[in-house]
Copies of this chain bind each other. A is one copy, B any other.
Amino acid sequence: MGLVVQKYGGSSVADAEGIKRVAKRIVDAKKNGHQVVVVVSAMGDTTDELIDLAGQVSPIPAGREFDMLLTAGERISMALLAMAIKNLGHEAQSFTGSQAGVITDSVHNKARIIDVTPGRIRTSIDEGNIAIVAGFQGVSQEGKNITTLGRGGSDTTAVALAAALDAEVCEIYTDVDGVFTADPRVVKKARKIDWISFADMLELASSGSKVLLHRCVEYARRYNIPIHVRSSFSGLQGTWVSNESPSEQGARKVEQAIISGVAHDTSEAKITVVGVPDKPGEAAAIFRAIADAEVNIDMVVQNVSAASTGLTDISFTLPKDEGRKAIDALEKTRSAIGFDSLRYDDQIAKISLVGAGMKTNPGVTATFFEALSDSGVNIELISTSEIRISVVTRADDVNEAVRAVHTAFGLDSDTDEAVVYGGTGR
């Protein structure tokens, strides 16, 4: 039996009862002969309460101090979890991100892990302890200041520790049973996925699936650490995310589906630059202006130029909360570029079909568009990768569209099996 890294989100340790329940589960893993390292988020609403306090003393809290404040949350949960485990007769020690050797850059509030030096963790587990590590936090290489990793940071802590400790698996415990073929709140017949490749999971994560964040999966792929996403409220197997399917590894028979799932995202807006002169360099000038404003864009489509006018339209999608910045940046370049007008539309949704199988299965695109068409959903933009097709529709159509596509690709479960237990941790 090897080393297991387990990560528990805030909803799993929301109160003393939750902490005791999680402690039992951790002790079970230890009893099964594993060395166990646990990464834990702050309890329930702790982080929101701390953010609220910060807002009461300062309208724009400084990054360094904000990180110092927020990291108190995991300090509380990890100490309580270690106490609860010791109360079950097993040895446990808690460690801050800094003590665990989580070294980051100096970008407060969204630091990136640049190294993990888990010497104290290794010593602790080799001495027979269960090591409890604060998620979401680290210490900067320069300046030795406390940093936080931003949204979903605890998952990244877990995967990074699993990589540094050469763990067998990184188990991400959450309040859902795993990764589903669609958002279970939208598609009642969504099925839990038994296994999904890193590649497909990365596409789902960047297409709106919120169970795992992109950078956590990317980290796991780089170091080839299998992730097991599962519920802390049940004993069920969840979703394995890895390079090879369990059947290829000879473990369990899991047939790889052509399509892994359908993701949707309503957090984006669309900007259309109308009446752009159709000559070389115009598109480049537009996207240079956007890039200089540090706006991240997603899909880009350029219409065929109208022969009569020599003008074309360029549309792109971007996060809604960067819309203002993008519009301002473009308006400043209007005379230089010479476009007619800007249209801003935040009533859109992106629906994505993800699956490595579509590479070798002709007709996937046709089936996708037919499903949308049959349910009366109009497509506004299209973009594709080797293993993903994404379309933009009206926001009002999103649930209908997701259900139609889910059914068309035979993803519907025979039962309404999806269970959602609560909020999400960080």
Instruction: Write the residues of chain A forming the contact surface with B, with a CB cutoff of 8 angstroms.
Output: 16, 19-20, 23, 50, 53-54, 56-62, 64-66, 68-69, 71-73, 75-76, 78-84, 86-87, 92-94, 99, 120, 144
A-B contact pairs, 7 of them (CB 8 A): A16-B53, A20-B57, A23-B57, A57-B87, A58-B84, A65-B79, A120-B144
Is A58's CB under 8 angstroms from B87's CB?
Answer: yes
10 closest Cβ contacts across the A-B interface? A16-B56, A69-B79, A58-B87, A68-B79, A58-B83, A57-B84, A72-B75, A72-B72, A65-B82, A65-B79
Is B80's CB under 8 angstroms from A53's CB?
Answer: yes
**Known contacts A71-B75, A75-B68, A86-B65; is A80 also within 8 Å of B93 by CB?**
no
Residues of chain B lying within 8 A (CB to CB) of residue A72: 72-73, 75-76, 79
- A76: contacting residue among B50, B61, B78, CB under 8 A: B50
Residues of chain B lying within 8 A (CB to CB) of residue A66: 79, 83
Is B69's CB under 8 angstroms from A76's CB?
Answer: yes
Residues of chain B lying within 8 A (CB to CB) of residue A20: 57
- A82: contacting residue among B62, B76, B79, B83, CB under 8 A: B62
In the assembled complex, how far is the CB of residue A106 from the closest CB belonging to chain B, in whole angstroms? 14
Residue in chain B with minimal CB distance to A71: B75
In the assembled complex, how far is the CB of residue A426 from the closest CB belonging to chain B, in whole angstroms? 17
Residues of chain B lying within 8 A (CB to CB) of residue A19: 57
- Complex alpha-carbon distance, A57 and B144, angstroms: 33
- Complex alpha-carbon distance, A57 and B94, angstroms: 15
Residues of chain B lying within 8 A (CB to CB) of residue A69: 75-76, 79-80, 83
